[in-house]
Amino acid sequence: MTRHHALRAAALAAGLLMVLTGCGGSGTAATGKPTSTVLLGEQVQSLVTQVDEMSIVEWHGQLLTRNPDKRGKRLLDLEARFDPDTGDSAISMESTLDGQPQQVDYLVVAGRAYFNSEGWGPVADKCWAEITGDAARTWALPTAFDPGWPLKAARPIELDGEDVKVTVPFKQVLAGLPRGLFAALPATVPYDTEARGVISPHGPLIEVGVDVLSMWKKLPKDQRATVDTRGAGWWAMTIKESQDDTDIVSPQYVFDPTVTSPNDCKRG
């Protein structure tokens, strides 16, 4: 673990432990029993450490209309690898938003964004078009590429078995979701606007659910009317260490599809 990862893990664990041991909830955390405090600390610390010790992070995010337990429909799928040392990402997106199936691969390397479309065919599988700063073509990318954002921004509320119930602030939720989902947002929102969520450890896998709909409901009525919230009710996410430890690197072939046919993208 690098020094900044270790410091971050320790600080977050301490914060989680302090909040959780101080909350009343069902009474477990507030009893003051040494055994309860130790078990709680171990559980939270292991969760934080598990994420911060990952070398390459593999994550899968799904945007649904509502909680999957309430038959929420899938709108968008992101499969990704993230290198915390460089900040680089490789992301594959499948979307059915607006009823139009779409599949696109993205690379974000050294602050530059590239995409490859399935529609170009297999001949262009290693060809990429640069889309840095192109809002129309980077709409599915999050602003915060680090998939640990729900853990680092979370305010723990209570334990439910091994699950940690949390709230996540408005700005951090939006930064973690595809950036083009909401064309118009209020310039300011109440400081306490948060989404409910839950963090669930499953061995090497960490599962996160963020109830985005609960966040919209906390906006004042006049602000809520300016945001199209119909397509974003729940964000489901899994995080684990990638078994693929190859570096995320700049694309081999970069071309302009408005000038060059994808069939010729590897020439010249």
Phi, psi of 73 (to 5 degrees): -90, 135
Percent of the chain surpassing pLDDT 70: 81
pLDDT tens readout for residues 237-262: 999 999 998 999 999 999 999 999 99
* Per-residue pLDDT, 229: 67
- The CB-based long-range contact list for 147-150 (8 Å cut-off, 24+ gap) reads 147/57, 147/59, 147/61, 147/80, 147/82, 147/176, 147/237, 147/239, 148/51, 148/52, 148/57, 148/239, 149/175, 149/176, 150/176, 150/197, 150/199, 150/208, 150/210, 150/237
Predicted confidence band of residue 172 (pLDDT cuts 50, 70, 90):
very high
* Spatial contact of 119 and 92, defined as CB atoms under 8 Å apart: no
Burial annotation 85-120 (CB, 10 A radius, 16+ → b, else e): eeebbbbbbbbebeeeeeebbbbbbeeebbbbbeeb
Closest by CA position to 113, among listed 248, 260, 268: 248
pLDDT at residue number 176: 94
Segment 41-60 mean pLDDT:
79
Residue in 74, 81, 83, 124 with CA at minimum distance from that of residue 106: 81
Give the integer Cα–Cα distance in Å for 168 and 211.
9
Mean pLDDT score, 188-196? 88
pLDDT at res. 99: 76
Runs of H (alpha helix) within 95-153: 149-153
- Sequence ranges of the domains in the chain: 1-53
Q: How confident is the model at residue 87 (pLDDT cuts 50, 70, 90)?
A: very high
Rounded to whole angstroms, the Cα distance separating 232 from 62 reads: 10
Among 60-64, 102-106, 216-220, where is mean pLDDT lowest? 216-220
